[in-house]
Amino acid sequence: MIKKKYLNQLKPLIISLRLHQWIKNLAIFAAIIFSGQLFNANLFYSTVLGFVTLCLLSSASYLFNDIIDAPYDRLHPIKKSRPIACGNLKINTAFQCALFLLITSLILAFFLSNSFFVIVLIFATLHLAYSLILKKHALFDILSIATSFILRVYSGEVLTAYHIPIWLMLSVVFLSLFVASGKRLSELVKIGSKTRPVLVKYQEKLLDFYLSTFANATLLCYSLFAFTAQPPIFRDKIFQFLLSNYPKTLDRKWLMATIPFVILGIMRYAQMIYLNQTGEQPEKILISDRLLLLTILGWGITVITLVYVS
C-alpha cells in the first residue's frame, strides 16, 4: 500500500510537470503535416512517440529548473505558489522524478532512431545549460528558447525524413524569438528584476525593438515560404474540373491563403503583450485566448485542406 506521504506528494508533483506547457512540443508535427504524410500510420506513430519523448524531457527540465529557481520563485507574486518554492513538493522527490523522466525519454529516443536520440540529447543539454547558465545572460536566454523550438521542429524532420523548407524553419526561429522577447518584456514591466536578475540587462525600448523586428521577420519568412512552397497536387473532383477548365490552377500559390491567419495571430499576440500584459506565460495565452485559438484553428484547417483534402 502506498504511504500517505507519497500520495500527498502526487498532486504537487503533477502540477510541477507543467502539462499545459506540452503544447510547445506540438511543433514536432510540422514536418509530417507539411509533407502530406499525416495519415501515414508508421510516420504518425513515430511522430507521436517523438512527441511523448519531448514531453517527458520537457517535464524533467521543468523540475530541474524549479529546483534551481526556488529561491527566486519565492520572491515572485505568482511563482511563489509553485510546489517546490512553497515547500509542498520535496526537492528530493522532484529530483528523483526528473531523473526518471530524463532516463525514460532518452531510452524512448534511442529506440526511435539514432539521429532523434542525438537531438534529444542536445535538447536535454540545452535545457540544463539554460537552467544553470544561459538564462542569466541577456540575449543568450532568448536565443536558447528559440533554439529549443528549432530542435522540436527538426526532430520531426528526422522522424519523417521530410526536409523542412528553410523559409518555414526561419519562420519558426523568428516566431519563437518574438514570443521569448514578449515574455521578457512582460516580466520586466510587471515584476522587474527581483525575480529574474537578467532583466537588469534589458530595457523596454530594446525589447520593443526586438518584438517589432522578430514580428516583421516572421511574417516575411512565412510569406516567402508560402510563396515558394510547391503547390499541392489536387485530386478532388472539384479541383479536377478547375484544372480542366483553368489549367493555371495548379500553379497558384495556394498556401498564401494562410498568411492572413499569421498576420492576425501576430497582431493578437502583440495586443495581449502590450494591453493585457500576459506575455509572461505564452502557453496560457495560446490555450485561453479565444481569438488566438480561432486564428490557429483557422490556419490549421486551411493548411490541412490545401495539403490533404484537395
> Would you list the domain boundaries of the chain?
1-164, 165-310
Of the candidates 57, 58, 88, 96, the one whose C-alpha atom is nearest the C-alpha of residue 70 is: 88
Of the candidates 21, 29, 30, 34, the one whose C-alpha atom is nearest the C-alpha of residue 49 is: 29
* Cell (9 digits) for 68: 534551481
Question: Could you please report the per-residue DSSP string of 29-70?
Answer: GHHHHHTT-TT-HHHHHHHHHHHHHHHHHHHHHHHHHHHHHH
Sign of CA dihedral 114, 18, 147, 121: negative
Enter the DSSP assignment of 289: -
According to the model, what pLDDT value does residue 242 have?
Answer: 53
- What's the CATH code, domain 1-164? 1.10.357.140
According to the model, what pLDDT value does residue 56 have?
Answer: 96
Q: How far apart are CA 247 and CA 173, in angstroms?
A: 36
Of the candidates 298, 128, 143, 287, the one whose C-alpha atom is nearest the C-alpha of residue 210 is: 143
According to the model, what pLDDT value does residue 12 have?
Answer: 85
According to the model, what pLDDT value does residue 4 have?
Answer: 58
According to the model, what pLDDT value does residue 237 have?
Answer: 47
pTM comes to 0.86
According to the model, what pLDDT value does residue 154 have?
Answer: 93
Of the candidates 260, 193, 251, 264, the one whose C-alpha atom is nearest the C-alpha of residue 223 is: 260
The parts of the chain modelled with pLDDT lower than 70 are 1-7, 192-195, 230-252, 279, 309-310
According to the model, what pLDDT value does residue 145 have?
Answer: 87
